[in-house]
Structure 1
Amino acid sequence: MKKFVQLVVMILLIIGVGFLLKEWSEVILYTAAILIELAGMAVAIRLIFWDKRGTSSKVAWIAVIFVLPILGYFIYLFFGRNPQSRIFHYHQINEAHKITTKIRALEKTHNTNAAPDLSKRIAHLTDIQAVNGNELKLLTNGDETFKAIIESLKQAKNHIHIQYYIYRADAIGTEIRDLLIDKLNEGVEVRFMYDAWGCAKLHESFLKPLEEAGAEIQAFDPIRSIWIARTANLRNHRKLIVIDGQIGFTGGLNIGEEYRSNTPDFVVWRDTHIKINGPAILELQESFLVDWVYMKNCAEAADSFINEAGVKQYLSPKTRGSEWAQIVYGGPYDKENGVRDAILDLIESAKESVWIASPYFVPDEEALAVLRRVSMSGIDVRVIIPGKGDRAISFHGSNAYIETMLEAGTKMYAYRDDSFIHAKLILVDGERGAVGTANFDVRSFRLNHELMVFLYETDSAIKKMLVDFEADFKASKLYQIEDIKQKSWYTKMKENLSSLLSPIL
């Protein structure tokens, strides 16, 4: 009887909706259209008068909303909200503050007084000091990087902190997971964090053996409801490992077979990572722990790391060398764009040359202006971007900037068109540079959580970066202005449309 009543009600509802659509369809359509337009106007007014993001980003979002009235509005609702408007729980703020306060105090116990002048400027911007006493090793491509990571993981005695934007359940992913399980069985603490969006294909069944062995596992900003889907556009793009508070890794490589050039899409996956021994590990550890207590979101989440035993266990790196390093991390919830601003300070310090490698070259207005001005000032500016992309919009968006950079005097290079360059590198005057997770694009500058290692007076790492750049230039094609003029109208249209969307990519 109950099912019969439900069926009758459903039939009556269908008939009622059909009648309304038949008799009042025009009114309903007009009303819906007016409401959608009003909603679009309300969003546009909010963007113009109250939103503090850049003008190009505002224009891009307004264009999306009015070109795609219904779809555009919902895309903005869930992906376009200004991250500065997000409200955090008290514990997320308080526990992170405990971590940063403790580590910044520990930094001062290391040699920071004689830091290079540029690092002092960046420290004013970011409140993160450069520290001396490090041993740094630049790692080129997957084979060298994963070999170094695996060797160091095997040496772990106390703890392993591991965080990746992408972690694949393939051969290298399984090998590292099983190694972590072995270390857990030896009594080593393992904390494993991954980005919920970047690792959307990483199933619980893959992580279950790790959890059963005793690892603590956190997914960064998982999307559990439609309402918090707005965080989907604000991802944690960092890749880092800290071992016993003494050895660290960060850079461009995620965990996956493509980073060993073992997939059919590209002949070579060109990438760069860096291994760190020494006091700079403090900031690498800080970045991980701040994200960790943010996801734990509970009282006293930081206490075990910063009490007397915790400081000795997690925050006591030893001096390993004589090289300076400054690790700058930041994200969309910060008041200032610390990673981007530090990169621009590095570029503006150039006296002879600025060499950049980035898989996605989609700069915001300020970054583009700085790079063009430096180039027009007679500095040798060179930029390597992929000759073949892994994502159409980003690839065409990058190509849209080639002409304006050539006109400014920049040498633009396309990496070999059967391979992909994923390294995030900057080398200035052949003496100082940066390597890390941030691309030279709007997403890394404004939307992602990123991390960069700034290098000063580091003979080994800088020399290796110089050698790698020279090899990459040889493997790349130098663009000429004639190449751009000969592009078809269809290609130019794709690039211009991608460029229009670049502020929200």
Structure 2
Amino acid sequence: MSLLSYDPTTWWGIGLLVAFYVFGFLHILHALMNTRTSQGTIAWIACLISVPFFAIPLYWMLGRSRFTGYIRARRSNDIQLKNIIDGMHKTLLQYSVDLPEEDVIERAATELGGLPFTRGNSLQVLINGKSTFEHLFSAIARAEKYICVNFFIVKTDKVGMKFQKALIERARSGVKVYFLFDEIGSHKLTSTYLGELRDAGVQCEAFGSGRRLLSRLQMNFRNHRKIAVVDGREAFLGGLNVGDEYLGRDKRFGDWRDTHLHLKGPSVQAVQLVFLEDWFWACDRVPELLWETETFPADQKTAIIPTGPADPTDSWKLLVAEAANSSRKRLWITSPYFVPDDGVMTALQLAALRGVDVRIMLPAVADHLLVWLSSFAYYEQSIPFGVKLFRYADGFLHQKVLLIDDRMAAVGTANLDNRSFRLNFEVTAFVSDQTFIRQISDMLSEDFSRCAEVKLEEFTEKSFLFRAACRAARLMAPIQ
């Protein structure tokens, strides 16, 4: 039978197959030029060559290294927005701190985050859910002009309903309320919940959805920030989302160990700038906010450092590596997830080898199985080099805290994993105030007393199937 006698549908199928492979080749070129790691590049090229019809849509959802189209407010062409940003940068510079050359982590943080260390701040450490929600709901009740809230997860349980009621009450009292939530993290939010907020006058926007088709395809990027700003006078950021488990009400986890911050002073305006940028991305609108600031006698020096996939480099990864490289006595890190890449792992190893007390506190129980399994696969790269791993046994550990020697502490939303390094929008407060550092040191010392130090045998003497599962989970680290 000659080729000319083939059914036209056959030719259509052949043409479609050829088109997929041509399109796949174009994606291979994109992956070759843009994928950040050699392992990721090889994996995507192999998939795009062998099964382009499956790999191409997955590449659009999971393979992009940058959040295409994200309009960074600091670079925006919107005149109103640009004037606000430029004005606030000038204002923050009036309260900025001159950094000596030896303050390398401080200089790196401000260079990567784009916002300066400011003086005149007052910071309160909020330990666990009860303290955090008491302060947050009290601040919301005090609001006179406006409230800005941005959470990765908002649930419709008891705490979530109380949160909704608090926003509705303020909105009906004439306070402007801007509510931003991550579309993936808060995917269980019901239309009824949001409808009741909107009916009361709350402006609700989902981060990651809406008018940009390209952004909807980039499902792997998340806004992991937890921010609240009230009247431009006080702000909150840290590890807690809005849900009952953060009060220890979920029997799967028991008590929930987390840390949040309550900020006053010039740092509030920096937090507000981060919210403004995210809000503008979500809806192309500039909210009506107040930009006056005040200082407080505590005079605590703080920098608000936003990081994320719109940055020109992997900012959070570089900051963690620099923290390890610049540490001289101790480097204490707490994170629910421990999936470092090779660069961060090398920096941690070298710090431990030169005598730094490198401790990493992790949960003993899992909330995300793959990430929990992945952490075991790093035991052999950590413990033999002197990196000490601890498992928190008194409930679930979720706080994201960093302590460098006796000179810097950081509290925020970023974890020690690929998501926070490359895929999530995060925000962290770096603090060089000695009173604050001692407070964080005492807090973490208490936490370590509730931990068990990990032994290498807890991985090497496990069953073959468990070790294989851990290594397989580690391979999926880029999409966990």
Please, what TM-score do these two structures have when normalized by structure 2? 0.89
How large is the Cα RMSD of the aligned pairs?
2.9
Match of 2:61 in 1: 78
What are the within-5 Å matches in structure 2 for residues 45-84 of structure 1?
A: 45-48=29-32, 50-62=33-45, 70-83=53-66
2:149 touches 2:227 (CA, 8 Å); kept in 1? yes
Match of 1:110 in 2: 95
| Cα displacement (A) at 1:498 | 1.5
Matched, 1:370 2:354: no
Matched, 1:182 2:169: yes
CA distance in 2, matches of 1:173, 1:378: 46
Matched, 1:396 2:373: yes
| Cα displacement (A) at 1:272 | 0.9
| Cα displacement (A) at 1:152 | 1.7
2:379 aligned partner, one-letter code: I
Match of 2:444 in 1: 469
Task: Indicate which of 86, 111, 126 corresponds to 1:139.
Answer: 126
1:196 touches 1:223 (CA, 8 Å); kept in 2? no
CA distance in 2, matches of 1:31, 1:250: 53
Match of 1:454 in 2: 430
Task: Indicate which of 460, 478, 497 corresponds to 2:453.
Answer: 478
Task: Indicate which of 99, 115, 120 corresponds to 2:107.
Answer: 120
1:438 aligned partner, one-letter code: A
1:79 touches 1:229 (CA, 8 Å); kept in 2? no
Match of 1:309 in 2: none
Residue 91 and residue 40 in structure 1: after superposition, are their counterparts in 2 closer, same or farther (change >3 A)? same
2:209 touches 2:282 (CA, 8 Å); kept in 1? no
Deviations 1:304-358 (A, max 9, x none): 54xxxxxxx3442443521111100022122123333233333322110001111
1:223 touches 1:232 (CA, 8 Å); kept in 2? no
2:421 aligned partner, one-letter code: F
Match of 2:254 in 1: 267
Match of 1:254 in 2: 241
Matched, 1:443 2:419: yes
| Cα displacement (A) at 1:240 | 0.6
CA distance in 1, matches of 2:124, 2:306: 20
Residue 333 and residue 33 in structure 1: after superposition, are their counterparts in 2 closer, same or farther (change >3 A)? same
2:151 touches 2:180 (CA, 8 Å); kept in 1? yes
The number of residues matched between the two structures is: 471
1:235 aligned partner, one-letter code: R
Residue 362 and residue 59 in structure 1: after superposition, are their counterparts in 2 closer, same or farther (change >3 A)? farther
Match of 1:425 in 2: 401
Match of 2:205 in 1: 218
**After alignment, is 365-374 or 198-207 more displaced?**
365-374
1:92 touches 1:295 (CA, 8 Å); kept in 2? no
CA distance in 1, matches of 2:198, 2:188: 18
CA distance in 1, matches of 2:344, 2:476: 17
2:60 touches 2:218 (CA, 8 Å); kept in 1? no
Match of 2:27 in 1: 43
What are the within-5 Å matches in structure 2 for residues 11-50 of structure 1?
A: 42-48=26-32, 50=33
Percent identity at matched positions?
28
Deviations 1:445-471 (A, max 9, x none): 111111000010241x32332222222
Q: Which has the larger radius of gyration?
A: 1
Please, what TM-score do these two structures have when normalized by structure 1? 0.85
Structure 1: give runs of 5+ residues left out of the alignment.
Answer: 1-18, 306-312
SS across alignment from 2:235: strand
1:328 touches 1:339 (CA, 8 Å); kept in 2? no
Match of 2:222 in 1: 235
1:223 touches 1:231 (CA, 8 Å); kept in 2? no
Match of 1:276 in 2: 263
1:277 touches 1:320 (CA, 8 Å); kept in 2? no
Task: Indicate which of 136, 145, 148 corresponds to 1:161.
Answer: 148
| Cα displacement (A) at 1:107 | 0.5
Structure 2: give runs of 5+ residues left out of the alignment.
Answer: 1-5
